[in-house]
Homo-oligomer: A and B are copies of this chain.
Amino acid sequence: MLKIQITGTGFHAPEKIETAGELAPRLGVSEEWASGVGVAQRRIAEQTMPQMAAIAAREALGNGPPPDLLINASLTPVQLIPDSSVFILDELGYDDIPGYSIHATCLSFLVALNNAASLIHSGAYKRILIVSSEIGSVSRDFGQPESAMLIGDGAAAAVVEPAMEGSDSAWLGFAMQTWPEGAFFTEIRGAGTRRHPNGPLACRSDNLFQMEGAKVFRLSLQKIPPMFSEFLNRQGIGVDDIDLFIPHQASGHGMKTYERLGFPAAKIVNIINEYGNCIAASLPMALDRALKAQRIKRGDLVMFFGMGAGMSTATALMRW
């Protein structure tokens, strides 16, 4: 148990809305098929990734002092070098605050939170700002409606600090597993050494998001339930003890499967229909929406959960 607290969150959804009905003809699918995916609309970025990040970050920081560390937990890079934390720091006007990136695809925010919990616990830092800002829309493959229909743009941020005196707030546990058998189920295969962008095989689809949805779903059904049960057992709790379940917003279909883990719909934070899959930003966006809707109070047991390319899953439990 690590005595830490999330002292602020921030949220940014671009103003521009793109509905399933608008997107359907561009993907060559019917409006009926499009609405069956479970994403009625998504936002489309009109600002840069660091600008979006900074809006969410400023809200999370509130009137408090600057952070002593920025962790960028986004999958969308601004460019390959330097890492995107630098551009977010620049946008925020910071001049000597350290920044780096944690990349665990859709789980980046959750992994960053687990790192931040230990970094706060050890005294390495006192006020860590984690930001996820994603512009996935530029990487949509319009020849692959199944994935292109899911993706949206957005940003969110959180500030992590030591728990206040007398507070029960704590990071109670975290578990992650990676199964490389799913490495190619969800990918953007360009930008690296495998298919170097200047190499002879490089092509446009290398830079677009590719997903084999059925394989992802099959591997999820096989891996998630035992991992989830083991996590609960180790924490000595049951599903009913959890006050709110905040999962990565992968797909409309995926959101429904969480009910199979035993959560009533009312305990699941579900924003996929309104914002789509905003990659690593989805989870902190859902957290912020839940807080703003007063669905979390101090002392609540909050569970975070995600599945990401790799494939990896992660579960975390927090006393709010």
Interface positions of A (Cβ within 8 A of B): 2, 48-49, 75-87, 89-90, 94-105, 107-108, 111, 114-115, 117-119, 121-122, 124, 135, 138-139, 174, 176-181, 183, 186-198, 204, 206-209, 308-312, 314
A81 touches B100 (CB 8 A): no
Total copies of the chain: 2
In the complex, residue of chain B having the shortest beta-carbon distance to the beta carbon of A107: B100
B99 touches A192 (CB 8 A): no
Of B76, B100, B121, B186, which is within 8 A of A111 by CB?
Answer: B100
In the complex, residue of chain B having the shortest beta-carbon distance to the beta carbon of A313: B98
A271 to chain B, nearest CB (A): 22
Residues of B contacting A207 in the complex (Cβ-Cβ under 8 angstroms): 80, 196-198
A100 touches B95 (CB 8 A): no
B102 touches A101 (CB 8 A): yes
A62 to chain B, nearest CB (A): 22
Query: With A94-B180, A180-B90 in contact, is A99–B191 under 8 Å at CB?
Result: no
Query: With A76-B192, A95-B181, A193-B76 in contact, is A103–B83 under 8 Å at CB?
Result: yes
Of B97, B101, B105, B191, which is within 8 A of A197 by CB?
Answer: B191
Residues of B contacting A80 in the complex (Cβ-Cβ under 8 angstroms): 75, 77, 187-192, 207
Q: How far is the CA of A122 from the CA of B173 in the complex (A)?
A: 11
Of B82, B188, B191, which is within 8 A of A310 by CB?
Answer: B82
In the complex, residue of chain B having the shortest beta-carbon distance to the beta carbon of A181: B95
In the complex, residue of chain B having the shortest beta-carbon distance to the beta carbon of A110: B100
Residues of B contacting A48 in the complex (Cβ-Cβ under 8 angstroms): 193-194
A177 touches B96 (CB 8 A): yes
Given contacts A75-B80, A77-B191, 12 further A-B contacts (CB under 8 A): A49-B192, A80-B190, A80-B207, A82-B311, A82-B312, A85-B104, A86-B180, A86-B309, A98-B176, A100-B107, A100-B108, A101-B104
Q: What are some 22 contacts across the A-B interface (CB < 8 A)?
A: A2-B122, A78-B194, A79-B191, A80-B188, A82-B312, A83-B310, A86-B312, A94-B178, A97-B177, A97-B178, A98-B312, A98-B314, A100-B111, A115-B115, A115-B118, A118-B118, A121-B122, A190-B197, A191-B197, A197-B206, A198-B207, A198-B208
Residues of B contacting A85 in the complex (Cβ-Cβ under 8 angstroms): 104, 178, 310
Q: How far is the CA of A103 from the CA of B192 in the complex (A)?
A: 14
Q: How far is the CA of A82 from the CA of B111 in the complex (A)?
A: 14
Q: How far is the CA of A83 from the CA of B193 in the complex (A)?
A: 12
Residues of B contacting A124 in the complex (Cβ-Cβ under 8 angstroms): 114, 117-118, 174
A312 to chain B, nearest CB (A): 7
In the complex, residue of chain B having the shortest beta-carbon distance to the beta carbon of A98: B176
B102 touches A193 (CB 8 A): no
Query: With A82-B183, A103-B83 in contact, is A98–B178 under 8 Å at CB?
Result: yes
